Amino acid sequence: MSVLIVCYSFPPVGGAGVQRVLKLVKYLPGYGVTPTVLTVRNPSVPVRDSSLLREVPPAVRVVRVRTFEPSHAAKEDARRVGETASMAWSARAAAAFVKLGGKLLVPDPQVLWLPAAHRILARRLRRLADDVVFISGPPFSQFWLAPMVRLRRGAAVVLDYRDEWRMASRSRSSRLEARLESRLLRCADAVTTATSAYRSELCDRHAFLDPARVCAIPNGYDPGDFQRDLPRPGGDRFVLTYVGTVFSLTTARWLIDAVRALHAREPELARLLTLRFVGRIVGAEARHLQGTEALGVEQTGYVDHDRAIDELARCHAAVCILDSAPGAERVYPAKIFEIMHLRKPCLVLAPDGALKDLVQRHGIGEVVAPRDVPSIVAALGRMLRDFRAGVAPLTTAPVDVEGFDRQRQAGAFADVFRAAAVLARGNRRHLLASAWS
């Protein structure tokens, strides 16, 4: 069967949000599915990783179209409007215009790539016979393409939630977006989510959804990323590494407060710690890390995916952060699965919810409430004392991680696509029930 995959974030775009679709494209051909990708030629994104392009199979066609969206640099200028008096008047005016446009565009500024995407999709639907159109968000403006697909008889629509719409949205038009989401979901033959918790929330919030048409397929790890000589931990300092973007939902504020407290209480023990942040530090989060070099805190900035894997491999333990926020109980950072595959002990700062349940179910490590500074201090102290005594920290044997293999998950997506294609042709319940039972 043939599947058109619509995704704004695709290599050479970098970052965690790229991996789900990239690995799907990589492994779908092994399940008898021929993917074609429709994406953006000039995406407005903060990071790029050209090394990821080598994972796209040569036979996969990637169609790239232009967007009218402002560059990421222009968006950053808009964010800084009013923060500096030295900005030229013309620059301030342009940035203010970009900022206003971002507020008016619903559900997100990426809606500006839809005219070109719409044209390509319409042409493809007329000339070619794709069995399925798979649309992965965020950005969720892409879901606007679903009604067009439904106009072509027999073509199935599968909508994929890598994240939650409401958590990804920056719009103030929550009621409008809720109605829009409901309308677009009615165009879907099947829906996939990255967590079971969000699958349940989506079905509860949209009563018209048939639960048999909504399937949770988690993120995961690709064994192919680890088929090389990886560095090993060493040295006379305990390296605790965070890999990923630090933003409001993954704030390092409380962890840094704990490191400061440990230095104040047990300076000799604290000097054994190197806390390394590998990835972007976004906006206001940077201030929490200012002046922390004396505490053993290091920042590498964004690195390519291979380097990120190396940094995880060479640390003594990893740290995974998810702050307490509405909806956080239904999500988990995708990087946790690579930590699991490396069998790397992990300190997890997370509230009650999906991430905590995952960690405890698979024995990944210790979970501490993300804002409980005394408990974080105690956890750091235990790790450092064990390190000083030559004892392995936390646990080094996560269990039952094979189900998160990206190659196996591509097979699950292939099953969903086949079921949705049958559904689109009229046989609506029978195959879906059997495929996802």
pTM: 0.89
Show the domains of the chain with their CATH numbers.
2-220+406-435 (3.40.50.2000), 224-389 (3.40.50.2000)
Q: Residue 367 is encoded by which pair of tokens?
A: 């979970």
Tell me the mean pLDDT in the region 312-331. Answer: 94
Give percent of the chain above pLDDT 90: 70
For 263, half-sphere exposure in the C-beta direction (CA atoms, 13 angstrom radius) is: 16
| pLDDT given for residue 103 in this prediction | 52
Residues contacting 251, CB < 8 A, separation 6+: 285, 288, 321, 323
User: Are 17 and 138 contacting, i.e. CB atoms less than 8 angstroms apart?
Assistant: yes
117-157 pLDDT tens trace:
999 998 888 877 789 999 999 999 999 999 988 877 778 99
- Number of other residues whose CB lies within 10 A of the CB of residue 178: 14
247-259 pLDDT tens trace:
999 999 999 999 9
278-315 pLDDT tens trace:
999 998 899 999 999 999 999 999 999 999 999 999 99
Three-state DSSP at 387 gives: helix
Rg (CA), the chain: 23
